[in-house]
Structure 1
Amino acid sequence: MDYKAGLLVFTTLLVGSLALPRPKDDVSVFFQYNANGRIVGGTEAAVGSHPHMVVLSSGLLVRSFFCGGSLIAPRTVLTAAHCIGTVTIPIIETLSRSLRVTVGSHRHDSGGTTYKVARHASHPDYDWFTIKDDIGVLITDTEVAYSSLVQPVAITYDYIDGGVPAIVAGWGRIYDGGPASDVLLELRTTTIDSKDCVELVNQANIEWEFEMQTDPRAEVCTLHGPGFGACNGDSGSALRRIEDGKQFGIVSWGFPCAVGAPDVFVRISTYESWLKSVIV
């Protein structure tokens, strides 16, 4: 076996081993953007109230939910680029064969309809170290069948700043440090002014000894009281405007769960041209 072939086999085995997590393994350290981040302080969503929600899961023997996403077209799931990176095989930049997306489910571990992923695209400027330009799509191998429980979410490319009531959903913790919820949770929150977000992030950096920066051009922030928040909540999930239900953000990163620091989302309007070029 030559060097390249051996390296490919080793890499495949390595990723395969990483794709066998135990159910409900909590690997999130917020701010660290590991994919098992959960919503904290949310309430159970009504069945069918978030028909755009997508479960991203992996694992050959034991399937494990690791990120959320939103259905935006018959074959296109919008998510965070760092979620895609979680299941991308290093060096060859190929998705793990165990990756699946599930739609129409109120639970992350059962129900709904599951689809294979044909290909993916992350924004070309995505930076895993700074978590910037954290946007990507997964393209299913066949069109997703729509129903009362499965519908695409409309995207708004409006520039959203402070004071906008919003909602985010995911399969999250009932409380910080507690067990993950089997059922879909939702959290209502409000966006904050970009300048305020920059100041609050700087304060949180001092308190938590991080060196993160928020970019108002490409990110939008929300802020809830202590005990509530999107612990990456779930990473890749949609932030939607309550007024019309349109998505304007993607859960990206934040600080330790539900401590009153801002949660940071990808500002979709910044990526209008790129996103329209990859939708199927």
Structure 2
Amino acid sequence: MRTLWKITGLLGLILLMLQAAEALRLRGEQLPGLAGINRHRTSDAATARSGPEGRVTGGTTAAEDSWPSIVSLQNVYGYHLCGGAIIDQEWIVTAASCVSGLRPRNVVVVTGTTDWWSLYAIYYFVDSIHVHCNFDKPLYHNDIALLHLSAAIEYNENTTSIALADIDELQEGETLTFAGWGSPTASGTYERYLQEASGDYVSVEKCRTELGGTDDVDLGHVCLQLPAGKGACHGDTGGPLIDSQGRLVGIGNWGVPCALGYPDVYARTAFYHDWIRTTMNGCTIG
């Protein structure tokens, strides 16, 4: 795909636009949360029977205690919708595209497990959803949301909050790592066990170029470049991207499906630090 892109930029751009019809966020289709709100676990029975040898588009199975801040956002039927991260005992950060249009009572937050199917995992109910007021204005921008829980999360060795990267210190080529329960192939079923993969941070300018000069990437985004065969896929939206110090630097937004060598795009938490803090403190800003 990359060779074709270098030879004929115009043809590559056309192909990219066609692929966007099945991006992590479906362009022109339902948002990830809405798309899965009525799905049942029985629809992924084969996944439930599979063991931890599964792989998410070139990723590896995460150790059980390696992502204590990650959560699985699920519907009331126990079906995984998106990822998220604990930033406070009562607050979860995720992608706005995961929860926009949903009622709080239809979202359950599952913590302390790398197995989203587990019947023994601890779960919490959501009492309010705070979507950024400029979500998708323009398209693919401000894709961030906060969930307030009806009860405080009980921290332990498998469950705790993650520190936000509030200063933008990312350097070109820096190694960043993401995790999620997304499918191993475009439109495939979700993995049962948490998967992780690492890639290189690329600048906004380079990311735009790699994605065909799109305006869908700006300073509010972090781009992660992985080799073809590795990358985020459906179900990874809303999941955390961390730096080498274990700080949250991004929240999964969108990308070209799946692992075709294009950068994956995340909301930059440092860019939204003020919005996050003011929302948690009961204030609102754009």
Which residue pairs with 1:40 in the alignment? 57
RMSD between aligned alpha carbons?
Answer: 2.5
Structure 1 counterpart of 2:124: 115
- Cα–Cα, structure 1 residues 17 and 194, in superposed 2: closer, same or farther, change >3 Å? closer
Partner AA of 1:47 in structure 2: E
Structure 2's unaligned 5+ residue stretches are: 1-32, 45-54, 282-286
> Which residue type is aligned with residue 169 of structure 1?
A
Question: Relative to 1, partners in 2 of residues 1:268 and 1:117: Cα closer, same or farther, differing over 3 Å?
Answer: same
Structure 1 unaligned segments of length 5 or more: list them.
1-14, 27-37, 89-94, 204-211
Shift of 1:216: 3.0
Give, in whole Å, the separation in 2 of the partners of 1:123 and 1:220: 17
Q: Are 2:208 and 1:198 aligned?
A: yes
1:57 to 74, 87, 93: 74
Using the TM superposition, give the Cα deviation of residue 278 of structure 1 relative to its aligned residue in structure 2, in angstroms. Answer: 2.0
Contact 2:190 2:235 in 1 (8 A): no
Where do 1:162-173 residues align within 5 Å? 162-173=172-183
**Could you state the TM-score of these two structures normalised by the residue count of structure 1?**
0.78
Rounded Cα–Cα distance in structure 2 between residues aligned with 1:17 and 1:194: 29
Q: Aligned letter for 1:46?
A: A
Deviations 1:69-128 (A, max 9, x none): 00000100000001011x51xxxxxx1523110100121111321001011111111117
Matched to 1:56, the amino acid is: L
Count residues in correspondence.
237
Q: Which of 192, 198, 201 is matched with 1:188 structurally?
A: 198
Q: Give how far 1:230 is off.
A: 0.8
Q: Distance in 2 between matches of 1:129 and 1:99?
A: 26
Distance verdict in 2 for CA 1:271–1:178, change over 3 Å: closer
Whole-angstrom distance in 2 between the partners of 1:116 and 1:272: 24
Measure, in 2, the Cα distance between the counterparts of 1:256 and 1:264. 12
Give the AA of the match of 2:37. A
Q: Give 1:239's match in structure 2, choosing from 237, 241, 245.
A: 241
Q: Distance in 2 between matches of 1:53 and 1:236?
A: 10
Would you say the 8 A contact 1:24–1:65 is kept in 2?
Answer: no
Q: CA deviation at 1:231?
A: 1.4
Q: 1:78 matched to which residue of 2?
A: 93
Distance 2:279 2:128 in 1: 11
Mapping of 1:136-155 within 5 angstroms?
136-155=145-164
One-letter code aligned to 2:126: V
The alignment partner of 2:272 has SS state of helix
The one of 22, 43, 48 aligned to 2:40: 22
- The equivalent residue for 1:249 is 250
Cα deviation for residue 181 of structure 1 reads: 1.8
Whole-angstrom CA distance in 1 between matches of 2:148 and 2:106: 15
Output the amino acid matched with 2:63.
A
Q: Tell me which residue corresponds to 1:91.
A: none
Note closer, same or farther for the CA distance 1:246–1:227 as it changes in structure 2 (3 Å cut): same
> Aligned in 2, Cα 1:24/1:269: closer, same or farther, shift over 3 Å?
farther
Deviation at 1:200, TM superposition (A): 0.5
Is residue 201–residue 214 contact of structure 1 (8 Å, CA) maintained in 2?
Answer: no
User: Where has structure 1 moved over 6 Å in runs of 4 or more?
Assistant: 15-18
Q: Give the superposition deviation at 1:23.
A: 2.7
Of residues 113, 116, 124 in structure 2, which corresponds to 1:105? Answer: 113
Cα pair 1:104 1:112 within 8 Å, conserved? yes
**2-side partners of 1:197 and 1:123: how far apart?**
23
Contact 1:80 1:250 survives alignment (8 Å): yes
Closer, same or farther: CA 97–177 of 1 in aligned 2, 3 Å: closer
Is this contact kept in 2: 1:101–1:115, CA < 8 A? Answer: yes
The DSSP-based 3-state class of the residue aligned with 1:275 is helix
Percent of paired sites with the same residue: 28
